Copies of this chain bind each other. A is one copy, B any other.
Amino acid sequence: MDAPPNDTKSCFSWERRVEFCETDAAGIVHFASLILYMEQAEHALLRSLGYSVAPSATRSSPAPSESSVTWPRVHVECDFHAPARFEDLLQIRVGIASLGSKSICYDHSIFLGKQLVATGKMTSVCCEVQSGHIASQNIPTEMRNALSRFLTN
């Protein structure tokens, strides 16, 4: 799998340049930075739909779609296929592998040109924060409908 898949119509695509502080003494991007890029691409996907992973109270300006839900991550897995280096401009693709009643499983792939750098899966759970306590809840219907356009299956 050394080339981007042909059918990417349901993927969200986001670009990120590798910063110097994200490299390590092996001369390549540190693996945890690649995981952070995957998280950041998820946030960009939500932002593209008018949503934010953070409750409005923590933001300078409210999300277009006001929301009190937050999305703690319960599972992460990644495979690292090729190194990326300082100043490489990476393309991060995110799709939604499955949409549960309370959770989202995202699928990620990171490319440097046609070279596959890393793949990942991450699961987040829809939660409401009330008075400092956190409890899972159903994904709001409107948000579920918006998210479904990124379903990869």
Tally chain A residues at the interface, Cβ within 8 Å. 44
Q: Are B39 and A20 in contact (CB under 8 A)?
A: yes
Q: Are B54 and A25 in contact (CB under 8 A)?
A: yes
CB of A148 closer than 8 Å to a CB of B: no
Q: Cβ of A86: which chain B residues have Cβ within 8 Å of it?
A: 25, 52, 54, 58-59
Q: Which stretch from A2-10, A67-75, A136-144 is at the chain B interface?
A: A67-75
Which DSSP category, helix, strand, loop or mixed, fits chain A's interface?
Answer: mixed
Contact of A80 among B21, B32, B58, B73 (CB under 8 A): B73
CB of A24 closer than 8 Å to a CB of B: yes
20 contacts between A and B (CB under 8 A): A19-B36, A20-B25, A20-B53, A21-B24, A23-B58, A25-B58, A25-B86, A26-B54, A26-B72, A31-B76, A35-B35, A54-B86, A58-B85, A59-B87, A59-B88, A60-B84, A72-B83, A73-B80, A75-B78, A75-B79
**Which A residues fall within an 8 A CB radius of B?**
19-21, 23-28, 30-32, 35-36, 39-40, 43, 47, 52-54, 57-60, 70, 72-80, 83-88, 112, 129, 132
